[in-house]
Copies of this chain bind each other. A is one copy, B any other.
Amino acid sequence: YKLFRWFSAKQCALPTPKMTENGLGHREKVLNMNTMNPNVKRVEYAVRGPIVQRAVQIEKELKEGVKKPFSEVIKANIGDAHAMGQKPITFFRQVVALCAYPDLLEDNKFPDDAKNRARRILQSCGGGSLGAYSASTGIEVIRQDVARYIEKRDGGIPSNPDNIYLSTGASDAIVTMLKLLTSGEGKTRSGVMISIPQYPLYSAALAELAAVQISYYLDEDKCWGLDVSELRRAVEAAREHCKPRALCIINPGNPTGQVQSRQCIEDVIRFAAEERLFLMADEVYQDNVYAEGCQFHSFKKVLFEMGPEYSNTVELASFHSTSKCYMGECGFRGGYMEVINMDPQVKLQLTKLVSVRLCPPIPGQVLLDLVVNPPRPDEPSYATFIKERTANLEILAEKAKLTEQIFNTVSGIRCNPVQGAMYTFPLPYSSYSNHGYVIRAMCSHHPLSLGFGQRDGTHHFRMTILPATEKLKIVLENIRAFHKRFTEEFS
């Protein structure tokens, strides 16, 4: 029972595009590598890049019966819980089915709370159908539900539905905010601070917008913690060649799995206020906190607890999604953004901008509504909902622990605890690091880090903790064995 490890050796040859011949010989294309958008060329997005494409191809070959020294591809490259076997929350899917096909409202197999939710949502859809466009900022009752959810989460700090913009996953809203923030030319070009390591959506979007990426490094020795002195170093260095305008934070961390302390968040907010930076808080893993002593604190809550000096001035956009946490509904592309202290004129511009794309997908809006407004204790679906949610989160916590434990038994791999989120970002090291590591050695086009970024000379990789426990064990054991073989070979 052998498995393909996606970073395995010889499989990494890049597909070479074939040039098409045509009747007119070699007439140049109108749209070619010289005429296309140079910013798009600069975009890097290896999480779904050539290695993944190669893995898909290998899967296909396996299906077609091609013999390989393994029988399955376990993909640990992306936070895709359902693909790794996690089951959807029953209540959520019941309501989506009822909304999609309202004849089912007559069916007594569905619980009343699911039917009530579906009726309420359909009433707020144009023509009572998921097939109508919504307002570009999202269906109004759902924006209200989101605001109530935030208030409850943050211990009663008010949230205004007018500050809520529903989105096509969190990525959509993040790119929209980065777009708004980009201006200037040369030394006045907008700079945006992002952590290294980071989730590569950020670097990709900044490249596409030709904004300046300002990298600040997380401290691996402090469990990938964020240090304000490093933020200050980074912003000061950047002021020489751009105009720093925004600071992006991912908490819980992707790919680091770190959960920020309340103190850290306060320090970051103070820094943003002093340096006049727009804060972007990517909080899509807000329910994914596993480590004892760790707790999720939203930037919004901490901001408001710091008093009016901050809560009336610091501009903040925070992001959430249906794709992660206990539900893992990536395919629905649901999400929202809350904006705080945004210039009212800019808000009108934001509304105009999102209206060009008409509206976020309605099924994703529906799913988001269920996430922010799940069954209540007095409703029939409550018990099952809690059972399913708890089970999903407990299994994730178990796998977070398992991953850390196994990695740290490997001599030559160092791994911080997975405090939250869905990833581990271990550092394999050896005295032969001149050879680089694994893919870097074997497949020089694609550093193993896959574009998350890291300090020069280190060769981390990101791996999700999502495969089913038994498979996760196999993956970890294979990495352990591989690391041993690799170290021996190069010694």
Number of interface residues, chain A, beta carbon within 8 A: 109
Q: Is the CB of B344 within 8 A of A19?
A: yes
Q: Does A111 contact B (CB under 8 A)?
A: no
Q: Does A306 contact B (CB under 8 A)?
A: no
Q: Is the CB of A48 within 8 A of B363?
A: no
Q: Is the CB of A348 within 8 A of B17?
A: yes
Q: Which residues of B lie under 8 Å from residue A309 when comparing CB positions?
A: 23-24
Binds B, one of A5-13, A329-337, A421-429: A329-337
Q: Which residues of B lie under 8 Å from residue A31 when comparing CB positions?
A: 180-181, 245, 278, 315, 342-343, 346
How many angstroms from the CA of A59 to the CA of B343 in the assembled complex?
27
Binds B, one of A88-96, A373-381, A456-464: A88-96
- Residue of B41, B78, B97 near A349 (CB, 8 A) is B41
Q: Does A293 contact B (CB under 8 A)?
A: no
Minimum CB–CB distance for A310 against chain B, Å: 10
Minimum CB–CB distance for A75 against chain B, Å: 9
How many angstroms from the CA of A175 to the CA of B363 in the assembled complex?
22
How many angstroms from the CA of A333 to the CA of B130 in the assembled complex?
10
Minimum CB–CB distance for A351 against chain B, Å: 8
With most chain B CB atoms within 10 A of its CB, the pick from A19, A23, A331 is A331
Q: Mark A114-133, 1 if CB is under 8 A from B, else 0.
A: 00000000000111011111
19 A-B residue pairings within 8 Å (CB atoms): A20-B344, A23-B313, A29-B346, A30-B315, A31-B181, A33-B345, A35-B183, A36-B181, A40-B179, A80-B126, A80-B132, A81-B131, A82-B129, A83-B126, A97-B101, A131-B330, A168-B357, A333-B361, A363-B364
Q: Which 9 residue pairs of A and B lie closest in terms of their CB atoms, listed nearest first? A: A83-B126, A17-B344, A331-B362, A22-B312, A97-B101, A48-B355, A82-B129, A83-B132, A82-B131
